[in-house]
Chains A and B, each alone.
Chain A
Amino acid sequence: MTPFITHTGVAAALLRTNIDTDAIIPSREMKLVSKQGLGEGLFAGWRYTQVGGREPNPDFILNQSAYQGTSILLAGKNFGCGSSREHAVWALAEYGIRAIIAPSFGAIFYGNCIRNGILPLSLPDEVIAAMAAQIQDPQQHQIRIDLAHRQVIGVDGTVYEFVIAKACQHMLLDGLDQIGLTLKRADSIAAFESDYQKRRHWLFELPTDVAG
């Protein structure tokens, strides 16, 4: 996983509440049993003029020339609510999004971001609206994020502190693989399991011959 340490980039504002994962990647755009090939489908319903088509909708912010290379999204609260599809995060990552700044996030989406090197960063609605209002020329006025110091630096130089759980911060900073980390605890998991199995043995007595 690509570590996230600091990042400076073009920010685009999609200031709408409850942007769901169906909007981020419509199910029809999940064409392969794969984590790849999803960037093109990002925001497909808004980004293209026709369903399934690829003609850019000029009204959609990411299609405007000033927003080429956008790597930071500013959004309304509850970003990434809805379906658990990790494809939403894979699509964002493939498109080049490194961070999303919103007042709150869908819980599953949040975890998916952390596991895929995207920083989900919470700031209050007013701060995000103020940050968005300051972006005149997005290519010139970029936003900077420093994860180690938990700071966002707006285009006018204002520093905003943010809060993130230490474990999430480490995962992103070090680009860690969570499964590898947990497997190092295999012994304590096994010890727990043997005790747990005694307490809750019925959960382990699964019939293997259930047929209709």
Chain B
Amino acid sequence: MAQTLFDKLWADHEVTVLEDSLSLLYIDRIFLHERTGSVALESLVAAGRPVLNPEKVFCSMDHIVDTHSGRTDETLVPSGKQFIQSTRKASQAAGIRLFDIDDPMQGIVHVISPELGIVQPGCTLICPDSHTCSQGALGALAWGVGSSEAEHALATNTLVVKKPKTMRVNLTGVLEPGVTAKDVILQLIAQYGAAGGTGYAIEFAGEVIDAMGIEARLTLCNMAVEFSAFTALIAPDHKTLDYIEGKPYAPQGDSWLQAKQHWDTLFSDHDARFDKELSLDCSQLAPVVSWGTSPQHSCAVTGTVPVMPEQSASSDQSSYQRAYQYMDLQPGQALTSLVIDAAFIGSCTNSRISDLREAAAILRGRKVAAGVKAICVPGSKAVKRVAEAEGLDQIFIAAGFEWREPGCSMCFFAGGENFGFQKRVISSTNRNFEGRQGPETRTHLASPVTVAASAIAGRIADPRDYLP
């Protein structure tokens, strides 16, 4: 019978079918980080349960580590040091490969896992972190779980999972210069709502995907969770294989050839049926920016803050009202009229080398507007090294950006560093929730090029006006 890519991956890992469309799935890779991983490891120890296969478990220090140069275990996050040190201790005790602060491979989990070849096409990977869906861009079944589920996987190599329905999102057309994967995913969420993917495993397909590099695909899949999808997937192609070949944890020699043979079968059969299909014509797409406090509150950078849709449910109306108030906006205001206080380039969504190259191309020879605090945080040490070898750091610094050490940094506020009360920030991150980047901080999500252009303009700006 014709199968979707998702069906193939599911069947390959199904240990047994339980009741009610629940299955016990075999888990190939587990990634932890110091914010949620330490709780899982400690709780497992307390229950007297060992980590079954520590060699397939990895842990990153990314969420609360400081990102200033010369950093140590000290961090501005209150009690952050305790999280860092207990994660180190618990990882060592369990025999897990930890990418510690001073490790040359350290970085944000969803940046380093692909970069090191830990995630591979056809594998299952879980992490107690919602943006694990990013890694589906390589054709893996990767999804975010809670701490208790992570414990379950650590102790049993399996997870009990309810089989999601399947959805294919066909992305047609060609992206114009200055329009990126970030704009595509924001547009999809704006159009179908932040709950548009509830209950589905999504496969992204179409011309736009064929044309996209692996890093852009990671950006696209990253925000599947903002669409409330179980996860996202992209069938591996020659770009995927080229990307993985030679990575430290990638298969080698004969194993590479055998793996490749399997990976060549990982696509949705042409007559496979999806439970739902959506399609988005991307040829007319403009850069997209969020205006409110949910990623679904997004529109074209050339647009205006929308008027509340009539006839929406009262709960939707109250979320619109609250968003106007929190963001200090009026319906009808042009987005490009909004003056910004800060600009941030970083996070697992947009901190890879291609992101930094594109942003640097806009910043080259230009200056950040007076009064704008601008920060760039590369996603990993490897990204940072390449960027520095290419001189990108000098472009960022000359423009007036801070150039930081890798980590999640100000993608989220944990009580430490933040952009400040009611500050307006244009950010390449993935969440514009209330308080996400700081108390009453007003976050506008955008692509790295839009962030770079806005940093120069001192207000939200259309990157197409700044393309080299």
A residues apposed to B, CB below 8 Å: 15-18, 20, 22-23, 26-35, 45, 51-52, 75-78, 81-86, 89, 104, 106-109, 111-112, 115-116, 125, 129, 165-167, 178-179, 182-183, 185-186, 188-189, 192-193, 196, 199-208, 210-212
- B364 within 8 Å of A by Cβ? no
Q: Are the CB atoms of B22 and A206 closer together than 8 Å?
A: no
- B267 within 8 Å of A by Cβ? no
Cβ-neighbour of A178 out of B12, B104, B160 (below 8 A): B160
Task: Name B103's closest neighbour in chain A (CB-CB).
Answer: A212
A-B contact pairs, 12 of them (CB 8 A): A17-B315, A75-B315, A76-B316, A77-B313, A78-B195, A83-B431, A84-B36, A129-B313, A166-B20, A201-B255, A202-B259, A210-B249
- What is the CA–CA distance of A183 and B156 in the complex, to the nearest angstrom? 7
Q: Are the CB atoms of B148 and A115 closer together than 8 Å?
A: yes
Known: A107-B198, A108-B145. A203 touches B130 (CB 8 A): no
- What is the CA–CA distance of A58 and B27 in the complex, to the nearest angstrom? 47
Task: Name B49's closest neighbour in chain A (CB-CB).
Answer: A179
Question: How many Å from the CB of B331 to the closest CB on chain A?
Answer: 18
Cβ-neighbour of A77 out of B38, B56, B195 (below 8 A): B195
Q: Are the CB atoms of A27 and B412 closer together than 8 Å?
A: yes
Cβ-neighbour of A26 out of B35, B103, B315, B413 (below 8 A): B413
Q: Are the CB atoms of B319 and A76 closer together than 8 Å?
A: yes
Task: Name B118's closest neighbour in chain A (CB-CB).
Answer: A206
Question: How many Å from the CB of A104 to the closest CB on chain B?
Answer: 5
Q: Are the CB atoms of A76 and B313 closer together than 8 Å?
A: yes
Q: Are the CB atoms of A86 and B36 closer together than 8 Å?
A: yes
Task: Name B256's closest neighbour in chain A (CB-CB).
Answer: A202
- B307 within 8 Å of A by Cβ? no
- What is the CA–CA distance of A56 and B379 in the complex, to the nearest angstrom? 39
- B66 within 8 Å of A by Cβ? no
Which B residues are CB-close (under 8 A) to A34?
39
Task: Name B412's closest neighbour in chain A (CB-CB).
Answer: A27
Cβ-neighbour of A167 out of B19, B256, B259 (below 8 A): B19
Cβ-neighbour of A23 out of B15, B313, B434 (below 8 A): B434
Q: Are the CB atoms of A129 and B249 closer together than 8 Å?
A: no
- What is the CA–CA distance of A103 and B160 in the complex, to the nearest angstrom? 24
Looking at B78-86, B232-240, B334-342, B344-352, the stretch in contact with chain A turns out to be B78-86
Which A residues are CB-close (under 8 A) to B316?
17, 76
- What is the CA–CA distance of A75 and B83 in the complex, to the nearest angstrom? 32
Q: Are the CB atoms of B313 and A28 closer together than 8 Å?
A: no
Cβ-neighbour of A83 out of B16, B130, B262, B318 (below 8 A): B130
Q: Are the CB atoms of A202 and B19 closer together than 8 Å?
A: no
Question: How many Å from the CB of B225 to the closest CB on chain A?
Answer: 8
- B406 within 8 Å of A by Cβ? no
Q: Are the CB atoms of B144 and A167 closer together than 8 Å?
A: no
Which A residues are CB-close (under 8 A) to B120?
202-203
Which A residues are CB-close (under 8 A) to B447?
none
Question: How many Å from the CB of B107 to the closest CB on chain A?
Answer: 11
* Beta-carbon contacts under 8 Å, B224-258 to A: 225-226, 228, 230, 248-249, 251, 255-256, 258
Question: How many Å from the CB of B334 to the closest CB on chain A?
Answer: 25
Which B residues are CB-close (under 8 A) to A212?
103-105, 381
- What is the CA–CA distance of A51 and B415 in the complex, to the nearest angstrom? 9
Known: A81-B194, A192-B15. A165 touches B36 (CB 8 A): no
Q: Are the CB atoms of A104 and B434 closer together than 8 Å?
A: no
Q: Are the CB atoms of A82 and B130 closer together than 8 Å?
A: yes
How many inter-chain residue pairs (CB < 8 Å) link A and B? 223
Question: How many Å from the CB of B142 to the closest CB on chain A?
Answer: 13
Task: Name A186's closest neighbour in chain B (CB-CB).
Answer: B156
- B322 within 8 Å of A by Cβ? yes
Q: Are the CB atoms of A189 and B122 closer together than 8 Å?
A: no
- B306 within 8 Å of A by Cβ? no
Cβ-neighbour of B433 out of A20, A125, A193 (below 8 A): A20
Task: Name A113's closest neighbour in chain B (CB-CB).
Answer: B146
Q: Are the CB atoms of B147 and A15 closer together than 8 Å?
A: no
Q: Are the CB atoms of B79 and A32 closer together than 8 Å?
A: yes
Q: Are the CB atoms of B146 and A89 closer together than 8 Å?
A: yes
Task: Name A46's closest neighbour in chain B (CB-CB).
Answer: B434
Cβ-neighbour of B146 out of A31, A111, A185 (below 8 A): A111
Known: A76-B313, A83-B130. A202 touches B255 (CB 8 A): yes
Q: Are the CB atoms of B144 and A32 closer together than 8 Å?
A: no
Which A residues are CB-close (under 8 A) to B83?
33
Write the B57-98 contact mask toward A (1 if CB under 8 angstroms, else 0): 000000000000000000001110011001000000000010
- What is the CA–CA distance of A81 and B249 in the complex, to the nearest angstrom? 33
Q: Are the CB atoms of A86 and B148 closer together than 8 Å?
A: yes
- What is the CA–CA distance of A17 and B322 in the complex, to the nearest angstrom? 11
Which A residues are CB-close (under 8 A) to B47?
179
Known: A167-B22, A207-B249. A17 touches B433 (CB 8 A): no
Q: Are the CB atoms of A205 and B255 closer together than 8 Å?
A: yes
Cβ-neighbour of A78 out of B97, B151, B194 (below 8 A): B194
Q: Are the CB atoms of A52 and B435 closer together than 8 Å?
A: no
**Lowest 8 CB-CB distances: which A-B pairs, in order?**
A212-B104, A76-B315, A28-B415, A202-B251, A51-B439, A112-B146, A86-B146, A78-B195
Q: Are the CB atoms of A200 and B122 closer together than 8 Å?
A: yes
Question: How many Å from the CB of A15 to the closest CB on chain B?
Answer: 4
Which B residues are CB-close (under 8 A) to A81?
194-195, 226, 228
Question: How many Å from the CB of A5 to the closest CB on chain B?
Answer: 20
- What is the CA–CA distance of A157 and B431 in the complex, to the nearest angstrom? 41
Which B residues are CB-close (under 8 A) to A28?
77-78, 413-415
Known: A17-B316, A33-B86, A207-B249. A201 touches B123 (CB 8 A): no
A30-B414, A31-B415, A165-B21 known; 9 new pairs, CB 8 Å cut-off, are A17-B294, A31-B79, A35-B39, A107-B198, A125-B315, A192-B26, A200-B12, A200-B122, A203-B123
Q: Are the CB atoms of A16 and B322 closer together than 8 Å?
A: yes
Most chain B CB within a 10 A radius of its CB, from A20, A202, A206, A207: A202
Q: Are the CB atoms of A32 and B413 closer together than 8 Å?
A: no
Known: A31-B78, A85-B36. A189 touches B156 (CB 8 A): yes
Task: Name A206's closest neighbour in chain B (CB-CB).
Answer: B55
Q: Are the CB atoms of B415 and A108 closer together than 8 Å?
A: no
